[in-house]
Amino acid sequence: MYWLLVLTFVLGYLFIAIEHTIKIDKAASAILTGVFCWIILLFGREILLGGQPELTGHLDEAVHFLDHTLLVQVGEIAEILFFLLAAMTIVELIDAHDGFQVVTDSITTTDRVKLLWIICTITFFFSAILDNLTTAIVMATLLKKLIKEKEDLYFFGGMVIIAANAGGAWSPIGDVTTIMLWIGGQITGANIVLSIFIPSLLCILVPLGVLTLKMKGTVERPAQQKQENADHSKATGFERKVIFWLGVGGLLFVPVFKNITHLPPFMGMLFSLGVLWVVTEIIHRDKHHDAKIGLSVSGVIRRVDTPSILFFLGILLAVASLQTAGHLGDLAKILDTRFSDIYVINVFIGLLSSVVDNVPLVAGAMGMYPLEIYPQDNVFWELLAYCAGTGGSVLIIGSAAGVAIMGLLKIDFIWYLKKISLLALLGFLSGVLFLYLVS
């Protein structure tokens, strides 16, 4: 059953990868993979023997144990899903008011290379202030307004994934793994910025440099979209500016909310959505219902990409099953016994995070290596923050930013593997090499 669980996980990922070949939505494959993994856990309960030997032969006890464990895991997953839902709704609300016109009007170039540098620079620094997931959602919406051709949209989307993960790695609030290490006391905020900024910068500059030499020509902008409904009234200039700045301010307020209240980030995102919801209800209260519905949260939320959220749910459930069964813990022990070099260990963790969620990997490393072995701000923790944060870019399903972009821009797994994965790997290894040379 131990290996059957692994096989199910791998087959699930394979079906996700060949989505366009088998013509089955990746969200369906992800959901089934997650559910099947937990079914295997239940009926193969002997793999849960570590610390729970009494479960063997007792289905009721196994059900109770897995019931509790699943609820805990679903609680953690729900934090991500509610964060994602609230952030996507805020972005859609800004879009419904044509708020992104403020940005698109200021980006006038159609030159591929210049536009790529502008987009990646914005993403890199924005993800450090916000986080890589929120930034990916915002940039995906922006890209659809700047680029018409699918191939160009895919390329820019792929580079946004690399830039978002690279930008999140050097900030203590830019990625969930750096937040974990920061809260756990393994790193300090100032040191992670000083130590990881240049490696993270290289992580995006190297792929950008390669594409600068290869890409030529201009991009075609999409035509001005017509209103979806004839009775859908366009937002006024005042309303557009209010919702844009309030929406962006709400996104930026999330890390501040977390620092003030110490509540999870999804609570801050829900708070920002609630404020924006009240404001839109007030400024549109005198409009006719048919005109108001397209500019309110109740109307906009229908446009949120629900399959992407369900895809997230399936992927995270599947990874949680491996964590519960002890596969990730076993892997950490193998790394600890087989490899003694901290660079090899962290590069492996980084590349593995392109397949499974980096959160349990980092949590496992934090448990395996106490501060007595590697003190605060040791190069091991710096490496871990960088590798876990940027290694996920190698595959499109290896990071929250990647999964979000995959869903929003409909990027194919195989296309990303052929066109972007090598660029992401070059950038990732460039940062590791820099850390190796300066340590």
Please compute the mean of the pLDDT values over residues 146-161 and round it to a whole number.
93
Q: What is the pLDDT of residue 227?
A: 45
* Exposure of 400 in the CB half-sphere (CA atoms within 13 A): 27
Can you give the pTM of this predicted structure? 0.78
Structure-token match 């460039």, residue found: 430
State whether residue 226 is helix, strand or coil: coil
- Distance of alpha carbon 111 from alpha carbon 221, whole angstroms: 11
pLDDT bucket at 60, cuts 50 / 70 / 90? low
pLDDT above 90 for 424? yes
**pLDDT tens-digit readout, 123-153:** 999 888 877 888 898 899 899 989 989 999 9
The answer to whether 38 and 66 have CB atoms below 8 angstroms apart is yes
Matching residue, tokens 């969620």 = 357
Share of the chain above pLDDT 90, in %: 29
Query: What secondary structure letter does DSSP report for 223?
Result: P
d(CA 402, CA 161): 6
Tens of pLDDT, residue by residue over 368-377, are: 777 888 898 8
Of 40-44, 263-267, 387-391, the least confident: 40-44
Q: Higher model confidence: residue 197 or residue 182?
A: 197
Give 374's contacts (C-beta < 8 A, 6+ positions apart): 186, 380, 381
E strands present in 256-376:
none
Tell me how far apart the alpha carbons of residues 67 and 73 are, in angstroms, rounded to a whole number: 10
Burial 131-169 (b: 16+ CB within 10 A, else e): bbbbbbbbbbbbbbbbbeeeebbbbbbbbbbbbbbbbbb
Residue 112: is its pLDDT beyond 80?
A: yes
Q: Is 92 exposed, middle or buried (0-12, 13-18, 19+ CB in 10 A)?
A: buried
C-alpha–C-alpha distance, residues 384 and 378, integer Å: 10
CB atoms within 10 A of CB 245: 13
Query: Is pLDDT larger for residue 22 or for residue 291?
Result: 22
In angstroms, rounded to a whole number, what is the distance separating the alpha carbons of residues 357 and 317? 10
Written as one letter, the residue type at 344 is V
- Tokens 């930034």 correspond to 135
Using 50, 70 and 90 to split pLDDT, how confident is the model at 58? Answer: low
Pair 150, 191: CB distance under 8 Å: no
**DSSP secondary-structure letter at 58?**
-
- Taking alpha carbons only, the member of 106, 88, 99 closest to residue 306 is 88
